[in-house]
Every structure is written in C-alpha cells, then in structure tokens.
Amino acid sequence: MTFVLGLTGSIGMGKSATADLFRRLGVPVHDADATVHRLYRGRAAPLIEKAFPGTATDGVVDRARLGAAVLDSQERMQQLEAIVHPLVREEEESFLKRLAALAPVAVLDIPLLFETGGETRCDAVLVVTAPAAVQRDRVLARPGMTEAKFHAILDRQMRDEDKRTRAHFLVDTSRGFSSAEAQVKSILACLAGRPGRRRHFNEEFS
C-alpha cells in the first residue's frame, strides 16, 4: 500500500519548494492549495458566492474579495472552510485511490494539516521549518503583504515549534536548495520499503 506522507509548514517556511523537490524525485504530490484554487474556478464558486455575495464573478471566486470578507472574522472563516474542506477532501480521496498499490510513497501537501486534523489520514508527517527571522523576511517580500496580514495568517496557524514536536520528519529550508534536497532524499531513503496502512475509500469519491 502507498505510504502517505503529510507535508505541512507555516507560511514562508518553504513548504511549496519542498513539495517541488518531492515531485522532481518522482513522488506524486496532492497540493491542497492548488486544489482550492481550482475549486474557486469551478464547483466551489457558486457555493461561496451564495455564502458571501459579491465574492465571485462569472463563476470564478475573486480571492482578494473573499479574503477581505473572511480574514478578520473567525466565524466567516469557519463558514468558508465548511464549504471548501469537504470538496478538497474528495479530491484528495480520488488522488489516493488512483495511486493505491501503484506508488510506494505519496505526499499530501496541506498547509493546515494539524489544524484540520489531517494528520490522522497520513502514515507520517513532515514539517518544513526555518528560523522566525527567515520566515518573516520571506513573507514580507511577497507583493501586497503587510505585517498585519502576516500576523493575521499566523494567528490561524499552529505555532512552528508545536508543529515540530508533532512531526516525524523535519526539513529546514534556511540552508539553501542543496541542503533541502539532501534532507528530502534522506527522508525518502528512510521510507523505502515501508508500507502504508490500508485505506477504505468512499465510493462516491471514485
């Protein structure tokens, strides 16, 4: 059975770059963020527009408008997550079902893995980390990012130190590409030959 490795990390830690390293090494990766963006252009759009009028145009969610509508309200954020998370989970189920017995290892790239209980669906968890100063510099270099937005996002995420204590593996991205790549290769070597647990998939997700 495919060994499912959960991949997570706080904003600015280098999670997406680490996911790309797995892809380059031939490991299938399910990207929860990319799935959300695809859903915003598809079947999630009418549901979100109904819940948050004015956030979708011509069947496509305007992410800036949606962010403005929910970022400062925990209640509205939970309402959005109640719409989106089940749809993402369906896509994840389909991904894993297609891979069953075909790939020795698959990665679930989920930003809020611990916060949403996603670690229970994984055989092990990898946390991507970096020093707080490196994280801050990376995030504030992004277009349109401010200190206020950065801290609002951090407030929704489990602290890095707490994630690290719950991880089976760590990748520190502060030492450059070659170091991160070596860490990923070491993890894959550790997982070689380790079977994942048997999973029972909901037929409606086929």
**Domain with 152 in it: what CATH number?**
3.40.50.300
Q: Are residues 141 and 114 in the same domain?
A: yes
Q: What is the pLDDT of residue 206?
A: 33
Q: Is 145 annotated as a binding residue?
A: no
Mean pLDDT over each residue of the chain, to the nearest integer: 93
CA dihedral over 177, 180, 182, 188, signed as positive or negative: negative
- Asked which of 102, 135, 155 is the last residue of a domain, the reply is 102
Q: Is 158 annotated as a binding residue?
A: no
Contact 129, 11 (CB under 8 A): no
| pLDDT tens-digit map of 99-118 | 866 899 999 999 999 999 99
| pLDDT tens-digit map of 121-172 | 999 999 999 999 999 999 999 999 999 999 989 998 999 999 999 999 999 9
**Domain span at residue 52?**
32-102
Q: Is 13 annotated as a binding residue?
A: yes
Q: How confident is the model at residue 205 (pLDDT cuts 50, 70, 90)?
A: very low
